[in-house]
Each structure stands twice: as C-alpha cells, then as structure tokens.
C-alpha cells in the first residue's frame, strides 16, 4: 500500500480535475422492468446504474497538463472512465437500437433514446488545447473501438449541434463560464448485435455471470421484435453516474401460442441463479395489468401503484428466480384501433419515385382535444437538401402555414456537413397536420458510393419533443420526452456498378466520338482540291 500517499498527493494537487479516485465511494444498482403491452408483446428494460460518488467531470483546461491521475475503480468501468477523462466529456449518451418503436401501441419507452440505428451525443466544454471537434472525433473512435460499432462513420458529414432538442440530462459544471457545446450524430443503418452486447456486458461489475445481467442472453435479445442498448454518462450533484440500459420488446404470441404468458425462461431462456454480490440494490418490477385474469408466480414482495416489486437480494442462495405470468384467457387482438398511448403520433415519408426530386411528408396527429406544441428537429445529411420556400402545412386539407414557427436552419454543405432544421409546430386539438417540403436528392461523386451492396442511404429519424403538454392531462410525464420518427431510405442516382466495363466503354466511345469530330473540325485546314475528270 505504499502508493497510497503518492496518490493522495496527486489528489491534493488536482482536486478540481478529477472525477474518479480510489477513495470515492461507488454504488451499483440494477433493475428490470417488465410490462405487458396492449398488442400482446412484452417490454423488458434492464437498467444498470453505477454512481461514482462525489466525483465530477474533468475540466477540459487540465487536458493541457499531463494526466497521471490513477484511476482506481472497483465497480465503475475503467475503460469508460479512461475515455471520459481523456476527452473531458461532461455528458455522454450512446444508443444502439434495432427496429421501429411503435409509440402508438407501446407508449413511451423507459429510456427515451429509441431512434433506429446508432445515436451518439455528448456535451463538452471548450477551453482545452484541442478543439471540441477534435475531442468529439476522438470520442467517436474510442467508443467505436469499445463497442465494436461503426461509430467512426459518425463523422462531420453526420455531426450536428441540436442543443434545443437534446438538453443535458444532468448538470453542467461551471468552469469560470466556459461554454458547453453539444455534438450529436446518428447512423440509422447501424445494426446492433452480439458483438455490441459483449463489450456492453464487460462494463458491468458482475458481467453476465450473476444478477439481472445473467438474463441478457444474446440469442433471445437479438430475436426480439425491438431491442436496443444505451450508455448514458451524466453528472448529478451526488457524483458521476453511468447508466447502462437494455430494452427489448418480445412477442410471446409469435410462435402460434394463443396466450400472452411469459416467464424469464420463455423471454430470455435464462433464470436468475445468483445475485450480483456487489449490487446495492437489485430488483425486478412487473407492471401488473389492470384487467384480465392472470397469475404471477412467485408473488411480488411488495405491490404498489400497479407494480409488483421483487428484491433479488432477498432471494435464498439455493433458489432460482423465474418470474412467470400466466393468463386465464387467450389473448385477443383489439379489432378496432385502440386509443393511442401518446398525445401525438408521427408518420414520415419520402415521396417521389424519381432519383433527383422528392418530397418529405410528415403527418402528425394530435390525439387530444387541446392544442399542443412540439419541436421538430431534422438532422438531414446533405444527400437530401430542403427547399424551405416549399414548406406547406395543411390541417385536414386546409392550408395553415401559421402553425410553424421558430424556424432555425443550418445549411448543409455538400460533401461535408448535414443540415439542421429546427422548428416548432402547433398541432390543433384532434387534428391531422400534414407538413410537406420539397427536397432535391444529391448526385454523388463516384468515389462517394459505398463499395458494398447498395440498398440506398438511410436517413436518420426526426426528433419531436412535446413542449407544453395540456394542463392536467395524462401526458404531463410526456413533456420534454423525445419522440423519434422512423428512419427513411433514400434512393439516389446510382450507376450500375455491376457492369463498370460496359459503362466505361460506352462513356469513352461517346467522349472520343464527340471530341474527335470536334477537334478534327477545329484543327483541320480546308483547301480546295481539284479532281481531274
């Protein structure tokens, strides 16, 4: 233990720069929330929270100094801690999702970030010797390595700074008024799979050996109708919090069974045998249905507000926990569209079958009777460019351009920067608002076409945030909740790369023919030749 005095000395010198030291107290909690959904599916959300007490993010100004601060963690993931210190990240959110979250029938997810594909955003303060963009790039690459995901492609062609739609979730430290900035990028065609789950599990103190994490069985996770993982780092007054979550929506009715029954073994093909010894708390919460005959085994230890709680810490060492819910009757799909679980729903489409022009169309439905306001953010790669003067808003067929306000638009720069379009839309009560804008599709340089099979370019989801929910309504909790629209696929003009030889021959012949004849005419000397006879 002779290194401890040295460490304390360093601590004394760099008190302000550190977010983690060996003496900081660490705390790990895990929770599983399971909910039966209205369309027969079952949503489960795993949340693993590690709190590094009394730590704070690194001041970027100290990046100039050599960092010999040792990072001794017992529960906090070291690889992540190093990365956060290296780039002085204040807040970080990474989500990797597969599938389309159906807000209308599934309601809001437990964790908001459910956009298709990869999404990464971070809040960083300026003041470091290297610029924010350099540190953002480093962060991307480091996370790409850490999570085996192609986050490296979230380059400047996809990076935007939409600070209004992505406010910091925690606190931003005040370093003599240093400005904080956000960097955001998403990549809709990223697919999440086993190779991302393994590094995810490695960040947990008990890995997948015990506790709730032992339920994370890749064979079942990645067969679910919707699944996604998230990493969130934020600073709260208590300290730095790292929250890892995994959400999935499984369909117990898929395999021709008629009941909505589920159990740990049917959903995950695993049961909890051991509890994670270092977890401060470890619980499973089951949302109990309001109607229908069902039984739940074992009985929850406590039931409050329609939720049954199980404390895994109470589990006897020799018993395995396999919560089972069984229904008395067969599940019947609703024959009419049930009332939407969210105050408004969104449909987004890219119309126009041609490869040069198109129209982006949004259909927003306000299900409530009161007027609501939503912010609308579009972070569009330069592949699709907007014509702002063509924005048309119609309510039930009548043009109402007054419903859009606070437009801010960052122009795209072809081949380098995406566009950021932010505006506030007013949705009158019980109405369907259609928003259309004409777009032009870019013509790519041939080196910009990806070398692999070409299905089109994925456009990231648009983000909507409910600004002021109707007073006293059931959707107060929805305020500030980000709603992601489905992603889109755009077809750009693509040469048929399967036959480059023909293309080259054709092009060369045409060019040679035109050039040859024109050059001949221009350079020829015309003389009169007399033919005898």
Partner 1 sequence: MDNNWRIRLRRRFRPEGDPNLVRVRRRKAIVSAFSRRVTFLRLILLLVGYIWMVALPYPQLGRGIYIDENALQPGQVNTYWGWGDVHNSDRYLDDLERLRDSNATSEQRAQYLDTEFRKIGLFSSTQTYQFTSQDINGTNTYAILSSPRAPGVEAMIISASWLSRIDDGNGALNLRGVATVLALAKFLKQYSLWAKDLVFVVSDGYLDGMQAWLSAYHGTIQSNLEAERLEMSSGVVWTALNIDYPGHSFSHLGVFYEGLNGRLPNQDLMNSFHVICSRMGVPVVLYDHLDPRSYPDRRKELDWLPEWLPGALRNDPEVRAYAYNARNVWRHVVHQASGRGSGVHGLFHQFRIDAFTMFALPATGPHGFHALGRVVESTLRTSNNLLERLHASFFFYIMTAPNRFMKIGNFLPSAVLISVAMMFTGLKEWSDSGWTQETLRNAEKSTETQAPGWTRRPRPVLRALCIMISSHLLGVATYLLMNSGWDGQNSIGGMLVLTMACIFAFGVSAVCSKSDRGGAAPIASVLKALNLCFASTIISATTVLNFSLAASLAVFLGIPLSVSSTSKNLPLRASKFSLYLFLSLGWVLKHERLNWNWEIMGVWLLPFLWIVYFPLVLQAGIVCLL
Task: Tell me which residues touch partner 1 (CB under 8 A).
Answer: 39-40, 98-100, 102, 116-117, 188, 222-227, 251, 253-256, 332-336, 347, 349, 351-353, 359, 361, 363, 452-456, 458, 486-489, 491, 496, 498-499, 527, 529, 531
> Measured from the CB of residue 200, what is the shortest distance to partner 1 in angstroms?
17
State which residue, 471 or 520, has the beta carbon closest to partner 1.
520
> Measured from the CB of residue 467, what is the shortest distance to partner 1 in angstroms?
26
State which residue, 1 or 528, has the beta carbon closest to partner 1.
528
State which residue, 67 or 225, has the beta carbon closest to partner 1.
225
State which residue, 10 or 361, has the beta carbon closest to partner 1.
361
Please list the helix, strand and coil fractions of the chain in percent, rounded to the nearest 5, in that order. 20, 35, 45
Which structure tokens are listed for 500? 């480059």
d(C-alpha 93, C-alpha 66), whole Å: 27
> Measured from the CB of residue 288, what is the shortest distance to partner 1 in angstroms?
23
State which residue, 318 or 532, has the beta carbon closest to partner 1.
532
> Measured from the CB of residue 514, what is the shortest distance to partner 1 in angstroms?
19
State which residue, 175 or 262, has the beta carbon closest to partner 1.
262
Cis ω for the linkage preceding 298 (within 30 of 0):
yes
Q: Indicate the burial class of 285 (C-beta count within 10 angstroms; 0-12, 13-18, 19 or more).
A: middle
State which residue, 251 or 322, has the beta carbon closest to partner 1.
251
> Measured from the CB of residue 363, what is the shortest distance to partner 1 in angstroms?
7
**SS3 letters across 238-287:** CEEEEEEEEEEEECCCCCCCCCCCEEHHHHHCCCECCCCCCCCEEEEEEE
d(C-alpha 403, C-alpha 346), whole Å: 16
> Measured from the CB of residue 100, what is the shortest distance to partner 1 in angstroms?
4
Residues sharing a CB contact under 8 Å with residue 373, sequence separation 6 or more, in sequence order: 424, 425, 426, 427, 466, 467, 468
State which residue, 292 or 456, has the beta carbon closest to partner 1.
456
Which structure tokens are listed for 403? 């419903």
> Measured from the CB of residue 74, what is the shortest distance to partner 1 in angstroms?
36
> Measured from the CB of residue 333, what is the shortest distance to partner 1 in angstroms?
5
> Measured from the CB of residue 190, what is the shortest distance to partner 1 in angstroms?
10
> Measured from the CB of residue 380, what is the shortest distance to partner 1 in angstroms?
15
d(C-alpha 343, C-alpha 358), whole Å: 29
d(C-alpha 134, C-alpha 147), whole Å: 20
DSSP-derived letter for residue 485 is P
With vertex at residue 108, the alpha carbon angle to CA 104 and CA 111, rounded to the nearest 5 degrees, is 145
For residues 352, 354, 357, 362, the Cα torsion angle rounded to the nearest 10 degrees is 20
Which structure tokens are listed for 530? 């007399």
Comparing CA positions, the residue from 33, 131, 145 lying closest to residue 79 is 145
Which structure tokens are listed for 120? 């990464």
State which residue, 1 or 527, has the beta carbon closest to partner 1.
527
d(C-alpha 197, C-alpha 177), whole Å: 39
> Measured from the CB of residue 532, what is the shortest distance to partner 1 in angstroms?
9
> Which helix (H) or strand (E) segment is 512 a member of?
helix 500-523
> Measured from the CB of residue 385, what is the shortest distance to partner 1 in angstroms?
19
Q: How many CB atoms lie within 10 A of CB 362?
A: 20
Q: Indicate the burial class of 132 (C-beta count within 10 angstroms; 0-12, 13-18, 19 or more).
A: buried
CA 299 to chain centre: 35
CB contact at 8 A, 227 and 249: yes
State which residue, 306 or 338, has the beta carbon closest to partner 1.
338
State which residue, 471 or 498, has the beta carbon closest to partner 1.
498
State which residue, 102 or 183, has the beta carbon closest to partner 1.
102
């Amino acid at each position: 233990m002779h290194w401890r005095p040295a460490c304390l000395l360093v601590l004394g010198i760099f008190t302000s720069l550190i977010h983690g030291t060996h003496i900081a107290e660490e705390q790990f909690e895990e929770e599983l929330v399971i909910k039966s959904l209205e369309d027969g599916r079952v949503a489960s959300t795993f949340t693993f929270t590690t709190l590094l007490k009394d730590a704070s993010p690194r001041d970027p100004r100290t990046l100039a100094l050599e960092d010999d601060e040792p990072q001794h963690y017992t529960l906090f993931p070291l690889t992540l801690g190093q990365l956060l210190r290296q780039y002085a990240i204040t807040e970080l959110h990474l989500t990797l999702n597969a599938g389309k979250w159906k807000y209308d029938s599934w309601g809001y997810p437990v964790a908001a970030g459910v956009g298709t594909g990869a999404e990464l955003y971070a809040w960083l303060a300026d003041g470091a010797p290297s610029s924010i963009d350099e540190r953002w790039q480093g962060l991307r690459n480091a996370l790409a390595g850490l999570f085996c995901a192609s986050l490296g492609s979230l380059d400047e062609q996809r990076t935007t700074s939409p600070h209004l739609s992505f406010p910091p979730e925690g606190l931003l430290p005040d370093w003599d008024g240093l400005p904080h900035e956000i960097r955001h990028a998403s990549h809709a065609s990223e697919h999440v799979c086993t190779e991302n789950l393994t590094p995810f599990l490695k960040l947990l103190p008990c890995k997948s050996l015990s506790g709730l994490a032992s339920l994370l069985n890749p064979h079942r996770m990645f067969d679910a109708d919707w699944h996604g993982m998230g990493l969130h780092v934020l600073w709260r007054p208590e300290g730095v919090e790292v929250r890892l979550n995994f959400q999935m929506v499984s369909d117990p009715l898929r395999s021709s069974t008629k009941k909505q029954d589920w159990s740990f073994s049917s959903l995950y093909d695993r049961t909890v045998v051991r509890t994670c010894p270092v977890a401060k708390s470890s619980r499973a919460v089951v949302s109990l249905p309001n109607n229908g005959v069902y039984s739940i085994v074992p009985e929850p230890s406590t039931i409050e507000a329609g939720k049954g709680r199980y404390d895994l810490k109470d589990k006897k060492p020799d018993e395995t926990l396999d919560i089972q819910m069984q229904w008395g009757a067969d599940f019947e799909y609703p024959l009419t569209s049930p009332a939407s679980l969210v105050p408004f729903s969104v449909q987004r489409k890219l119309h126009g079958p041609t490869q040069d022009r198109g129209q982006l169309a949004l259909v927003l439905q306000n299900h409530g009777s009161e007027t609501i306001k939503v912010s609308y953010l579009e972070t569009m790669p330069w592949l699709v460019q907007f014509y702002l003067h063509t924005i048309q808003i119609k309510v039930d067929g009548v043009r109402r351009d007054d419903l859009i306000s606070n437009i801010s638009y960052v122009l795209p720069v072809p081949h380098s920067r995406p566009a950021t379009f932010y505006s506030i839309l007013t949705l009158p009560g019980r109405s369907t608002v259609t928003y259309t804008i004409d777009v032009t599709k870019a013509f790519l340089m041939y080196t910009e076409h990806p070398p692999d099979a070409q299905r089109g370019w994925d456009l990231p989801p648009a983000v909507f945030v409910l600004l002021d929910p109707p007073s006293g309504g059931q959707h107060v909790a929805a305020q500030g909740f980000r709603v992601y629209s489905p992603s889109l696929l755009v077809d750009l003009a693509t040469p048929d790369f399967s036959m480059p030889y023909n293309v080259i021959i054709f092009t060369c012949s045409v060019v040679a023919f035109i050039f040859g004849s024109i050059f001949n005419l221009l350079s020829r000397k015309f003389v009169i030749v007399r033919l005898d006879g």
